[in-house]
Amino acid sequence: MTVGELKQKADLSYDISVAKKNALERSESRQIIAHNEHLFKADAQTICLVKTLSEHKETFFVLDTNNNPCEIKEPAEFLNKLIERNQETLNAYSQIHETFKRR
Amino acid sequence: MSTGVLLYCSNTPTYDYHRITERCVELIKKNLKLEITIVTDAETFKKFKPLGMINYKLIEPELGNKRNGEQWNQLERAYAYDHSPYDTTILMDCDYFCYTDNLLTYTNIDNDFLIHDKIHDLTGKDVYNFRKDSIIPMLWATVIVFKKTHRAKRIFDMVKYIKQHYQYFCDLYRISFRNFRNDYAFSIAINQVNGNTQQIFLPGKIPTLPALAKILEVKDTGIVFEYDDKINEIENQDVHLISKEIFNV
């Protein structure tokens, strides 16, 4: 491998890394949802927490992104909302990720 | 309960801010679908192309602020509480382009004053680390979501006071930037009003293209930019543009 080829490879890796960071940031921004006047992040942790709590109780409290308590009165509806937004963002991220592979 | 966007726009000898605002308005109409109020001066107002249903508020811009030796207005944001006709206002810089409806999420919550404390540099260079430039962390006044409450009014009143005595507050908080910066004025105001305790911030980061990135194209769905001889693109992501040369062409 020549120095020129090495630089080209390194540049490409760097570009992909920056593009990946930007795409992830975009997904994370999109994962913020409002529910009962509180903000939540539709990430794996929130989904697992809501799913687990909903299996044990009909209503329960969770902390929002600012650590304020929020009572969840309709767990099924909230869980659906979280999963829908989570998958929407990851689907968009996956499409961008495919373009990285082709580069 | 009314919700709307408040923009400040005033041309300078260096930049045609009305052109940036025109683009910003198109994106707000398309993605946020909210009412818009533009606070501007008479000279800038005459240059706007017809933008449809927009509320205009004409003011006499305060001059005297400079950045890198160039005229830099941005002195009227302290009056946003008084200028806004809405119950819930998204106050944003006209160089913040909404390619998504993400900001709508923040209008449906019970917090009365939200501001970003984090930034995401889209070039990956992380050029915005100002932590050593003051003794309090700098907040980003690019986007502020506020409601008409007593607490929000107190914050804006405090910003007005800080503006009057800015050099004193710069010394008090050991701020390196000596020209008036809304970012610091709001950071100090929130720090004072909250009694030096933590404020609730907008979750997420402001995606920003720093000045080192040259904008090549502003598309309907994103921005094409160049930095370090590399061309990159972002799509369907809100973005704060620092480089404005493209709008002067």
Report the complex ipTM.
Answer: 0.84
Q: Which has the minimum average pLDDT: A13-22, B56-65, B147-156?
A: B56-65
E strand segments, chain B? 3-9, 35-40, 55-58, 66-67, 70-71, 88-92, 96-97, 113-116, 119-121, 140-147, 206-209, 214-218, 222-227, 230-235, 239-241
Of all residues in chain A, the percent with pLDDT exceeding 70 is: 100
- For the cut 80, the answer to whether the pLDDT of residue B78 exceeds it is yes
Residues 6+ apart with CB under 8 A from B37: B4, B5, B6, B7, B54, B55, B56, B57, B83, B84, B85, B86
Tokens 């829908």: give the residue. Answer: A84
Tokens 């009365």: give the residue. Answer: B112
Tokens 């501007």: give the residue. Answer: B40
Greater confidence (A16 vs B197) lies with A16
Q: Per the CB < 8 Å rule, is A25 touching B237?
A: yes
Q: Is A67 left (phi over 0), alpha (psi -120 to 50) or beta?
A: left
Question: Mean pLDDT for chain B?
Answer: 90
Among chain A residues, CA nearest to B227: A15
Write the pLDDT tens digit of every residue in B40-54. Answer: 999 999 999 998 899
Greater confidence (B234 vs A78) lies with A78
Write the pLDDT tens digit of every residue in B105-163. Answer: 999 888 899 999 999 999 888 888 888 888 999 999 999 999 999 999 999 999 999 99
For residue B194, what are its two tokens? Answer: 């909250």
Torsion over CA of A24, A26, A29 and A35, rounded to 10 degrees? -100
Domain at B3-209, CATH from 1.10.8, 3.90.550, 3.40.1350, 1.10.1740: 3.90.550
Query: Pick from A57, A100, A99: which is nearest to A78 by CA?
Result: A57
| Closest-CA distance of chain A to residue B108, Å | 6
**Would you call A64 exposed, middle or buried from its count of C-beta atoms within 10 A (0-12, 13-18, 19+)?**
buried
Of all residues in chain B, the percent with pLDDT exceeding 70 is: 95
pLDDT score at B67: 64
Q: Which residues does chain B have within 8 Å of residue A71's beta carbon, measured at their own beta carbons?
A: none
Write the pLDDT tens digit of every residue in A43-84. Answer: 999 999 999 999 999 999 999 998 899 999 999 999 999 999
Choose among A17, A26, A34: nearest Cβ to B237: A26
Mutation to test the A interface, candidates B108, B114, B236, most A Cβ within 10 Å = B108
Can you tell me the distance from the alpha carbon of B148 to that of B221, in angstroms, rounded to the nearest whole number?
Answer: 33
- Kindly state the average pLDDT of the residues A18-33: 93
Predicted TM-score (pTM) of this structure: 0.90
Length of chain B: 249
- The band of B65, judged by pLDDT with boundaries at 50, 70 and 90, is low
Can you tell me the distance from the alpha carbon of A28 to that of A31, in angstroms, rounded to the nearest whole number?
Answer: 5
Query: Pick from A35, A14, A25, A13: which is nearest to A84 by CA?
Result: A35
Write the pLDDT tens digit of every residue in B204-227. Answer: 899 999 988 889 999 999 999 988
Q: Which residues does chain B have within 8 Å of residue A25's beta carbon, measured at their own beta carbons?
A: 120, 205, 207, 237
Question: Mean pLDDT for chain A?
Answer: 93
- Kindly state the average pLDDT of the residues A76-99: 95
Can you tell me the distance from the alpha carbon of B239 to that of B74, in angstroms, rounded to the nearest whole number?
Answer: 19
Q: Which has the minimum average pLDDT: B42-46, B101-105, B241-245?
A: B241-245
Length of chain A: 103
Tokens 């109409």: give the residue. Answer: B29
Query: Pick from B234, B238, B219: which is nearest to A21 by CA?
Result: B234
- The band of B71, judged by pLDDT with boundaries at 50, 70 and 90, is low
Instruction: Confirm or reject contact between A17 and chain B (CB < 8 A).
Output: yes
Domain map (residue ranges) of chain B: 3-209
Can you tell me the distance from the alpha carbon of B27 to that of B209, in angstroms, rounded to the nearest whole number?
Answer: 17
- For the cut 60, the answer to whether the pLDDT of residue B249 exceeds it is no
pLDDT score at B248: 64
